Amino acid sequence: MSTLSNTEIARILQGIQALKESGTAAAARQPVAVVGLGCRFPAGIETPAALWDAVQAGHCAVRELPASRRRTPATTDAAPSSCPAKGGFLDEVARFDPLFFGISPREASEIDPQHRLLLEVVWEAIEDSNIPLRTLRGLRTGVFCAIGSDDYLQLTVNPQRAGKLNEYSGLGTSRSVGVGRISYLLGFSGPSVHVDTTCSSSLVAVHLAAQSLLAGECDIAIVAGVNLVLSPLNGLSRAGLSALSRKGACRAFDDAADGFVQGEGCGAVVLRRLDAALTAQDRIAAILRGSGIAHNAGGNGLTAPNGAAQEALLRTVLSQSGLDAADIGYIEAHGTGTRLGDPIEAEAIGAVYCAGRSVDQPLFVGSSKANFGHLEAAAGILSFIKTVLALQRAVIPRQIHFERPNSHIPWDRMALQVNVTTDRAWPGHYAKRYAAVSSFGINGSNAHALLEQGPEVVPYEPADSPQGEQEARLLPLSAKDEASLRAQARQYAALLRTNTASLRDICYTAATRREHFRWRLAAVGQSRRQLAEALDAIADG
């Protein structure tokens, strides 16, 4: 048997190393599928569809601060009375069904409402993904959550309430425990990570989750961000930074911009490697082509934006995605509506995405903060979900509170435009729909992501049934108690009357891609109308 020379051995080893590096690079470039969405935002928005309707209707969710939050036991008489009075506030932040998650009411009362909201919205995102919980438990499912404030901790764990604290108090107000509780209660074995990079937290969480997926640390990644303003002291600290609008409105990229208003909400997305999502026949809402994070690394101050750093990050993510700048049709900007921040961000966008772009084929830019305020830790996930919805619907999102372009932005030198119309279709000159999302932290941590439209879905229609609603169909539903089952029956009746999906797909999904609980029912019908009427009858008792 002949022996190999040292040169030949070295060459073989180099080849093996090159193959490893090639495989690693290919894995790192592999896209990630967005397969589930969940949300809870101001103005009664509890579904992604409702979020899109509000954006396109030009709805502004900013309102007066609820009276229940203006005075609390933790607010001293010495606290200034100039606490910001307007923001994008949620209703009924105390509403929670602990028994659904197997939590005792006593423990639930000590859990930060932000953590409770995360649990609910994560569950809704899982349901939207059509991946049964039992399947997620059999995979390495990771949870990456952004939580940035400790209002509930400040209000409840203090000397004035020393006699009321119990064994749940500390756990209920710990941010990391809030994330770990989700993994524990739902039975997930993958990474369980709390992320806090201030305003960029939830988009940073998206990036970390995608990297974890591509590295093989998890098979499914659930990303969420939440923000509630539970204490008046919260707003006072923001007001001290001179970042809040005195007019009570965020006017991103407008010449009258004077800052942002605070906002509340929660968003969650379910991510999976694209090849795995295609194999599992998941419904793919959008594809994450690339993402990145970086820091300002100096500049004019800790909290001041750094245009050069923003530009470098955008350029890096674009390069790694394999896309050209001209491919991008829309960018959901950080867009806080500040006199300093908007021009710096617009210049960075222009330098990366507008170079060589024709003025008659502009890049559109917008910001959800005009509609809902600045959700801080949840701002990035709101922007991410909004952009996914825009790609799905092939429509450029409408921007409100924009009347006069910011005079500090060189619009005439950049093919950059703000859309104020309700029905602007995605421009037809793009072969595919691509969009970008930015989120910048006040601590200097920046995040950027590039999204692609999901695969086109061809509705199933049986060959012998042009309408697809001639055969008898079985629709099974279940819930954890009778009242919830009746409520679900009513929801499905409404869905059958409004959703355009085929009846076969609706019944198939309910039967095979939902978790099944103790209380169950089944309706049979040959048409949407028959099934909806049967479900209405069940809901009415």
Q: Indicate which residues carry an active-site annotation.
A: 199, 334, 374
State the residue for tokens 């030198």: 413
Residue 409 tokens, joined? 């932005």
User: Closest by alpha carbon to 329, among 358, 362, 352?
Assistant: 362
Residue 242: which region, alpha, beta or left (left: phi > 0; alpha: psi -120 to 50)? left
Angstrom distances, CA of residue 28 to CA of 145, 190, 478, 506: 22, 19, 40, 35
Rg (CA), the chain: 25
Number of helices (H) and strands (E) in the chain: give both, helices first.
18, 16
Instruction: Say how many C-beta atoms besides its own lie within 10 A of residue 351's C-beta.
Output: 18
Rounded to 10 deg, the angle between the 528-539 and 482-498 helix axes is 150
HSE-up (13 A, CA, CB side) for residue 295: 9
121 alpha carbon, distance to own chain's centre: 10
Q: Which helix (H) or strand (E) holds 122?
A: helix 113-129
Task: Check if the beta carbon of residue 476 is closer than 8 Å to that of residue 343.
Answer: no
If we measure between CA atoms, which residue out of 296, 146, 163, 124 comes closest to residue 208?
146
Please tell me the distance from the alpha carbon of residue 400 to that of residue 115, in angstroms, as a whole number.
31
